Structure formats: C-alpha cells, structure tokens
Amino acid sequence: MRPNNRVSPYTLMLLTLLCCVSVSAQRATVSLSKRASAVPKACEALVPASLDPIDITALVKEAYCKGAGDMLTEYTYVMTSTGRSVNKKGQTKEETTTYEVFIPVLKGGTRGKGILLVTNRNGEPVPSEELEKARLDAAKRLEKAEEENANEKVSEPAADVKGMLPLGMYTTSTNNHHSTFGKSGSAALAIHTFLRTCELTLVRSEQHDGRETLIFNFTPRPGEKFAANEKYIAQLGGEIWIDAQDRVVTRLMGRPAFTASNTSPTKSIPTPPDAPPAVYVEMMRLPEGVWLPRIIRINGADYQKLFDGIKSESITLFSNYVRFSTEIKDVHIDPYVKP
C-alpha cells in the first residue's frame, strides 16, 4: 500500500542519496537564520557606490550589504573540515571529516541548525551499514526540525522597505578549543567584522575568472572595540578583494603585521609576505549569480600566540552546492525496504 507522506525536498534527498552519520571528531555544527525582510537592515536606503572615482566608504557599505543575504538556507552542500595541530616536537597531526549538509526549511524570521552527515573520515568512506542507518535517522531529525519551525510564531516584516538586495552570504566561522584543564578559547572569522573595523586602501585592479577585481590593503582602525574572539584582528594586515561588478568581497587574507624575530625573540619584525595566512576566506560565484563560501581558514597552528588559546588550524572547504525549490508541497514515496 502507498502511504501519503508529506516530505520536504531536502528530506527527499536524504532518503534517496547515500548519506551518512552525524558525529565528527571536530564537532562541526551549522546554524543559520532566515531574514523576515527581503532587504536587510544593512541594505536599507543604499545606492550604488561610484567607481569613477572610487568612493571607498560607499563601496565598503555596499560590499557589506551584498554579503548580508541568507542564501545558504536554500542549499544543500558538501563541507570538508580539516584540523591541523603541531605539538612541541614539531610533529603535525591532521584530521579531516567530510559532511553532507542539509538545512531545514525555514520561515522568515526563524533560525535552524543544519543536519550534518559524515560521509568520509580521514580519507576513509563511512561503512555502508552505518550510512544506511544514519540516512534514515537524519531524515527523521530533519522532518522534526521543519515541523517545529513551521509552528513557530514570527512577527510580520515591515512593508515597503527600500534598498539593495544582497547577492551573497558571508558566514561567521568559529574555531573553539576546550582543554582537559578547564581552559578554553575561541576565534571567530567574519568578513563583515573586517569591513566594519578596518580602513581600506586601493592598491590595484586585476582580472580574475574574467571579472574585474578591486584589491585593497586593510588596516584595523586604532581604538576599535572587538569581541573577545576577534581581538586578533587588531594585529593583522592584509588584502580584501571586491568584485567590481557585483560589489561582493571575494577574498580576504590576513597575517600579523609583525612577528617575533628568530634571532631575537624580544624584537618584532614585519611578517614576510610569503608567510602562510593567519586568516583566509574565499567566495565562489554560482551559475545563478549567488556568492557563497568556498574556503574558510583560521590558522592557529602557525600563529599559536595570535588567537585566544587556539593553537590548531581549521580549514573548511565548501562544494557541491545544490539549490532546492521549497515550492514542492507534497511528495509521495514508498516506504524504505532493505534489499
């Protein structure tokens, strides 16, 4: 007999794809929110910035707005999380976990957590029996999350708000550390914080992937107040790339302005330009014109005194973005039968 089940398109994917378990060694989590209004607060009353000559102040405001979207709530994707640490003997330990990430359907003005399904650990695929069990469990959790969100009451958005619409979504990535001795630390990386707290100076214009890109040096403003897990920004310098057409930040790379000298640890010298970045973000433009994260890196392994107790490196790679229409209201599926 064919049951009549209402299933979201995300859950349908979970039931038809070979997915996986939801626990990882690095305890990755994904939390997202859906805006109540199509125009974010940062985009209200904005007009396009002039590029001839370049109005940097206006361009920064526009770039802030253009990355204030909530598009990740409409996609599933693959996320590969790599952690690297270096012990006192200089030995390196690296762990990698790959996930399928599914986001519950969200109403405007609500938040939700992604369902993370492990497909690979350190290059080894998750065993098929484990995948099979986790696939069904994840589908149940996703359905439960969507039911809870559907019943949540939200306030009506303000009408007739004028301004720009975002073209992408900058995310906030956090690397947290908890030791057995009770010490903890945290480092957060968000493009929006750099745009809000740094002075930008145009240094050059280049073509990347056939698109004109404006490249700026950034310098944190003296006296800026940072959250505890963002205080490291005050010690950085680096580059911010902005797409000239879409006005979206496409790359951010920062290093400490000064590092300890090898010959005299009490003295500081400028960090070499070929040193590994302490923080790095790269965005990618999808075929539909939406900008979403490609790479996010927080490097506490090479800069163990820079962050708030973070002495390891985290690198997150995003790929395989697939957008689903939430217009599908009813899907009929046969019950799962083990072959």
pLDDT digits (tens, 9 = 90+) for 289-328: 999 999 999 999 999 899 988 989 999 999 999 997 544 3
**Count of structural domains, the chain:** 2
Q: Is 64 part of any domain?
A: no
Cα radius of gyration (the chain):
22
Q: Is the Cβ–Cβ distance between 244 and 212 less than 8 Å?
A: yes
Same domain, residue pair 248 and 146 = no
Q: Is 5 part of any domain?
A: yes
Distance between first and last Cα of the chain = 18
Q: Is 99 part of any domain?
A: yes
Rounded distance, CA 283 to CA 60, Å?
17
Long-range contacts of 320-324 (CB under 8 A, 24+ apart): 320/77, 320/78, 321/75, 321/76, 321/77, 321/286, 321/292, 322/13, 322/75, 322/76, 322/77, 323/74, 323/75, 323/286, 323/288, 324/9, 324/10, 324/13, 324/74, 324/75, 324/76
pLDDT given for residue 181 in this prediction = 65
pLDDT given for residue 264 in this prediction = 64
Position 178: which residue type? H
Final residue of a domain: which of 152, 182, 201?
152
Position 133: which residue type? K
| CA dihedral angle for residue 68, residue 9, residue 103, residue 67, rounded to 10 degrees | -10
Same domain, residue pair 120 and 171 = no
Q: Is 189 part of any domain?
A: yes
Same domain, residue pair 90 and 223 = no
Same domain, residue pair 182 and 133 = no
Q: Is 257 part of any domain?
A: yes
> The pTM is what?
0.85
Same domain, residue pair 148 and 171 = no
Q: Is 50 part of any domain?
A: no
Q: Is the Cβ–Cβ distance between 118 and 23 less than 8 Å?
A: yes
Rounded distance, CA 261 to CA 270, Å?
9
Q: Is 39 part of any domain?
A: no
Same domain, residue pair 217 and 269 = yes
pLDDT given for residue 338 in this prediction = 41
pLDDT digits (tens, 9 = 90+) for 19-51: 322 222 357 889 988 888 889 999 999 999 999
Q: Is 158 part of any domain?
A: no
Same domain, residue pair 20 and 122 = yes
Q: Tokens 């090898």 sit at which residue?
A: 262
Final residue of a domain: which of 92, 119, 152?
152
Same domain, residue pair 24 and 86 = yes
pLDDT given for residue 171 in this prediction = 95
Same domain, residue pair 203 and 245 = yes
Q: Where are the beta strands (DSSP E) in 2-64?
A: 31-33
Final residue of a domain: which of 152, 185, 218?
152
Which domain, by its residues, includes 194?
A: 167-313
Residues of the chain with pLDDT under 50: 1-25, 326-339
Q: Tokens 């060694």 sit at which residue?
A: 25
Q: Which two tokens stand for residue 198?
A: 């740094």
Same domain, residue pair 205 and 284 = yes
Same domain, residue pair 86 and 177 = no
Same domain, residue pair 138 and 174 = no
